[in-house]
Amino acid sequence: MPMNAQLTNAIPAQASPVLEESAIRNSALTVIETEARAINALQQRVNGSFLQACQLMFQCQGRVVVIGIGKSGHIARKIAATLASTGTPSFFVHPAEASHGDLGMITQKDVVLSLSNSGETDELLTILPLIKRQNVPLIAMTGNEFSTLAKLADVHLDVSVSEEACPLGLAPTASTTAALVMGDALAIALLEARGFTSEDFARSHPAGSLGRRLLVHISDIMHRGKQIPVVDQNASLTTALVEMTRTGLGMTAVTNNAGELLGVFTDGDLRRAVDDSDIDLRDTPVARLMTSNPKTITADKLAVEAAQVMEAHKIHALLVVNEQNHLVGALNIHDLLRARVV
């Protein structure tokens, strides 16, 4: 027997570790309960200091500069992003990089929001004198109201926790959650104070689904000019079918000599005409087979409103008209799908 085979056979197979389900469940529940208590404790800290912090940020003529390092740095980045997307211009600065030139990003018109659970982070304390020298308002968010950072700040927000969710008491868990929630509370309080709307939010999220739903108008996606399927009221069924095929929208508008919309002829109208034995498809004008007074929409409406009309009336296409009921465009469900508003 080869030596390698002998060695392999001599090593006993090790069983894969098995998780104890009850222990895992209890551990997870303990974490959630601990962090929930940390969040609940924040309710008592929405006080004068919180209001003062909001006032400084609300009156800021520059940007809210959020700084932090380590796990606090990750939370600081998220708070800065939330502030920026909800109407409070903000950005994150890494305190270590600030000591090597990035401090120049902070101006006298800014407000600094500094995060440190201990309030004694060396990288933060190194740059604080320079920030104070510029008379930049400093808001500190710490877990120690007696810390150096808390004492140097113009406003201190207490995010201390009685315990971390980590059983070792080492990994930042409840403390980072408390800081994150306090940051969200600041951002949303400022959002409401500014009268920030869903349209404002969409403008800073143009690539997101909400941005598309609130920013894309009918005029942005509708078919225009020769792409609009349209026939005269005296046109034959054959002419209408050719027009429907040409544009591929599954319908054609029917207008009078003045260009006013009279109706729409769709695939459904064609099926109903074929099923009606009393209709001579060769001689009947399309105006007799069309659907009169069709559902329409104006070009200034949001694309999502077209989707709502289609869904409500179980149709797959809409004609776009102006105030004089003249045809200016057309769209179908595929146009809405391409625009990603549905």
Per-residue pLDDT reduced to its tens digit, 115-155: 999 999 999 999 998 898 889 999 999 999 999 999 999 99
Q: How confident is the model at residue 202 (pLDDT cuts 50, 70, 90)?
A: low
pLDDT at 110: 96
For residues 207-220, give the mean pLDDT.
Answer: 69
Contact 155, 52 (CB under 8 A): yes
User: Which of 37-41, 81-85, 86-90, 284-288 has the least mean pLDDT?
Assistant: 284-288
Q: What pLDDT score was predicted for residue 296? A: 93
- Taking alpha carbons only, the member of 296, 305, 295 closest to residue 339 is 305
Domain stop point among 140, 165, 196: 196
pLDDT at 220 over 80: yes
In a domain, 203, yes or no: no
pLDDT at 282 over 80: no
As a whole number of angstroms, the distance between CA 120 and CA 140 comes to 11
Residues 108 and 241 in one domain: no
Evaluate whether residue 5 is within a structural domain.
no
Answer yes or no: do 184 and 36 share one domain: yes
Range of weakest confidence among 13-17, 28-32, 312-316, 333-337: 13-17
Looking at 136, 166, 196, the residue that finishes a domain is 196
Residue range 56-91, pLDDT digits in tens: 999 999 999 999 999 999 999 999 999 998 889 999
Same domain, 263 and 154: no
Instruction: Quote the domain boundaries for residue 333.
Output: 218-338
φ, ψ at 259 (rounded to 5°) = 85, 10
Portion of the chain with pLDDT greater than 70, in percent: 90
For residues 181 and 249, state if they share a domain: no
188 and 231 share a domain?
A: no
Please state, in angstroms and as integers, the Cα–Cα distance from residue 263 to each residue in 20, 259, 289, 335, following that order: 68, 12, 10, 21
211 occurs within a structural domain: no
Does 174 lie in the same domain as 28?
yes
User: Do residues 230 and 165 share a domain?
Assistant: no
Q: Supply the pLDDT for residue 273.
A: 80
Q: Are residues 169 and 293 in the same domain?
A: no
- What pLDDT is attached to residue 108? 92
Say if 190 falls within a structural domain: yes
- Predicted confidence at residue 8, as pLDDT, reads 54
Q: Do residues 69 and 120 share a domain?
A: yes
Higher pLDDT, 183 or 134: 183
CA angle 94, 95, 99 (to 5 degrees): 115
- pLDDT at residue 200 is higher than 70: no
Position 238 in a domain: yes
pTM for the full predicted model: 0.65
Quote the CA–CA distance of 313 and 213 in Å, as a whole number.
20
pLDDT number for residue 101: 81
Distance between CA atoms of 149 and 121, rounded to whole angstroms?
8
Domain of residue 305, CATH code: 3.10.580.10
Same domain, 95 and 172: yes
Domain boundary among the residues 163, 196, 229 is at 196
Residues 31 and 176 in one domain: yes
Q: How many domains does the chain have?
A: 2
**Crossing angle for the helix pair 174-194 and 21-41, to the nearest 10 degrees:** 40
Structure tokens, 333: 């469900």
